[in-house]
Amino acid sequence: MRSMFTSESQFVDWLKRVCQARSDSAVVGIGDDAALVRPGSKQEIILTTDLSVEGVHFRRQLHPARSVGHRALARALSDIAAMGGTPRFALLSLALSRTTSRRWVEDFYTGAQVLARRTGTQIIGGDTALVSGPTSVDAVVAGEVPRGTALLRSGARAGDRIFVSGRLGLSALGLRMLKAGSSPVTARRSGHPLHAHLFPEPRLALGRFLRESRLASAVMDLSDGLSTDLARLCRASGVGAVLGTERLPLPNFPPIASNARLSAARADLLRLALNGGEDYELLFAVPQRKAKHVPKRYRGLPLTCIGEIRRSAGLYLSLPDGILKPLRAGGFEHFHRSHH
Ligand SMILES: [Mg+2]
C-alpha cells in the first residue's frame, strides 16, 4: 500500500515543521483557524491566486513533484514581481488525487518551500482534500508594495520602447524536451531549457528595480506567451505595438549560427519565443527618453528592447526585409479546448 498521512493532524504537524514561521514575524501561521498577518502601515497588499491542475499545467509523468511545488508558487510570485511587490505570505491548497503518495506530497512541499525561503515568502496555511479526479493546487500569495507605487499594465503610451527580460521560448523548448524523453535530472543548470521549464525563476528583483527606478510605464509577466500577453498589455493601455523579429531574444539552445538566415530551426525558435508560454519573464514598456537608462543586464539577466508601442491598436511583426505582418495571439488561451 502507498504510504500517506494517516490523519489531518499528522499532516498539519508535519506541515508546521516544514513551514516553520520565522520568529521575527507578527503572524499566527499554520495550526489555528486562520492565519493572522500584519501589513506594513505605508504598504498596499497585492493578492494573487493561481491554479495548477494536473493534465493542464503539469503532468505526473513529466513533472517531478518538486517541480510541481516550485512552479505552483512561482506562478503566483511572478504576478507579485510584475507589480513590483515583495512577497510575504502564501497559502497552498491541495486537492490530491487518491493515488498520490506521501513522498509526492513531501517533494511537492520541498519544491515550494525552497523557493519560498529564497524569496522571503512564508507558507502560512492552506487546505487539503483527497479527490477521485486529478490533483490540483491553488497558490494564494500576498505581497506588499509601497502605497501608490504598484506597477500596472495600463500605462504604456505611443513611442514607448518594449523590453523583455531573459530569453523567450526556453520553457516551451524544455517542455518539448521532456515530452521527447529528456530526464528532468539534467535540469540542474540555470539557463538550460529544462531548468527554465521545471524551475522558472520569478523576476522579483527586476520588478522591484523597475518600480524603484521609475523606468517602466507598464509591466506584466509573461505567463501565456508573448503574442498573447503583449496583446493584454496593449489592450489595458489602449495602444498597439510593433515587434522586430530580429530583436527577440531567442533560446540559445541548441546553439545556432548567429548569421543564420531565417532557417527552419530559427523559425521554430521564433514561434516558441512568440507563442510558448510559462517563461515568467517580465514584459515592460519604457518611455523613449528613459530607454537609454535601461541596463543591458540586470543582475546578470539580459534586458532586450524588442519593439515599440504604437498609437493605433493592433500588433505587428516587423520582418528583416521591413515588411509588417500582423501578429496573431498564438499563446496559451485557457478557454481553448486543446492546449500543450
Ligand atoms: Mg500575470
Under a CB-based contact definition with an 8 Å cutoff, are residues 241 and 217 in contact? no
At 7 the pLDDT is: 83
* Ligand 1 centroid from CA 256, angstroms: 31
Question: How confident is residue 338, by pLDDT bands cut at 50, 70 and 90?
Answer: very low
Model confidence at 225: pLDDT above 60: yes
Question: Quick check: 167 and 251 in contact, CB under 8 A?
Answer: yes
CA of 75 to the centre of ligand 1 (A): 8
Confidence bin at 82 (pLDDT 50/70/90): very high
Cα 121 from Cα 265, distance rounded (Å): 40
What span, in angstroms and rounded, lies between the C-alpha atoms of 119 and 175?
Answer: 25
What value does the mean pLDDT take over residues 174-198?
87
- With left for phi above 0 and alpha for psi between -120 and 50, is residue 300 left, alpha or beta? left
What average pLDDT does the structure give for the chain?
90
* Phi, psi dihedrals of residue 69, rounded to the nearest 5°: -65, -45
Got the DSSP string for 315-334? EEEE-TTS-EEE----S--T
| pLDDT digits 0-9 by tens, 149-184 | 999 999 999 999 999 999 999 999 999 999 999 888
| Per-residue buried b or exposed e for 189-221, using 16+ beta carbons within 10 Å of the residue's own CB | eeebbbbbbbbbbbbbebbbbbbeeebbbbbbb
Render pLDDT for 260-282 as a digit per residue (tens, 0 to 9).
Answer: 555 778 888 999 999 999 999 99
Measured in Å, residue 144 CA sits from the centre of ligand 1 at 16
Give pLDDT tens digits for 85-117. 999 999 999 999 999 999 999 999 999 999 999
> Is residue 10 predicted with pLDDT exceeding 70?
yes
CA of 214 to the centre of ligand 1 (A): 20
| Residue 43 reports pLDDT greater than 50 | yes
Please report where in the chains the cell 507589480 appears, as a residue: 83
Rounded distance from Cα 236 to ligand 1 centre (Å): 13
Mean pLDDT of 248-267: 71
Ligand 1 centroid to residue 326 C-alpha, Å = 24
Q: How far apart are CA 156 and CA 132, in angstroms?
A: 46
Averaged pLDDT, 245-265: 73
Q: How far apart are CA 317 and CA 314, in angstroms?
A: 10
CA torsion 16→20→25→30, rounded to 10°?
A: -10
Residue in 19, 8, 4, 12 with CA at minimum distance from that of residue 73: 19
Report in angstroms the alpha-carbon separations of 106 from 10, 60, 278.
13, 15, 24
Pairing of β 86-97 and β 128-131: parallel
Distance (angstroms) between ligand 1 centre and the Cα of 79 equals: 5
The pLDDT, as a whole number, for residue 3 is 78
How many whole angstroms from 3 Cα to the centroid of ligand 1? 36
- Measured in Å, residue 221 CA sits from the centre of ligand 1 at 5
Q: What is the pLDDT of residue 336?
A: 54
pLDDT in tens, 284-300: 999 999 999 999 999 99
Q: How far is the CA of 223 from the centre of ligand 1 (A)?
A: 6
- Gap from CA of 110 to ligand 1 centroid (Å): 24
Residues with CB under 5 A from ligand 1 (ion): 79, 221
Q: Is the pLDDT of residue 325 over 90?
A: yes
